[in-house]
Structure 1
Amino acid sequence: MNQATHEVDAVREVVERWMAAFNSHDLTAMAGLFAPDALFQGFGPEPLVSRDAVAEYYGAVPGYRRAEDVSVLHAWAIGQDAAGGFVDVTFRDPADWEARVYLSLVLQRADERWEILQYHVSRVSNEH
Structure 2
Amino acid sequence: MAYKIELDREKLQKALTPLEYNVCLNHGTEAPFQNEFHDSKAKGTYSCKCCKTPLFTSEAKFDSGTGWPSYFQPIKEKDIEEIVDDSLGMRRVEVRCGACGSHLGHVFPDGPAPTYQRYCINSASLDFEEE
Please classify the TM superposition score into its range, dividing by the shorter chain length: under 0.3
Which has more helix, going by share of residues?
1
TM-score, length of structure 1 as denominator length: 0.28
**Which structure features the higher share of strand residues?**
1
Q: Could you say which structure has the greater relative contact order, defined with CA pairs below 8 angstroms and 6 or more residues apart?
A: 2
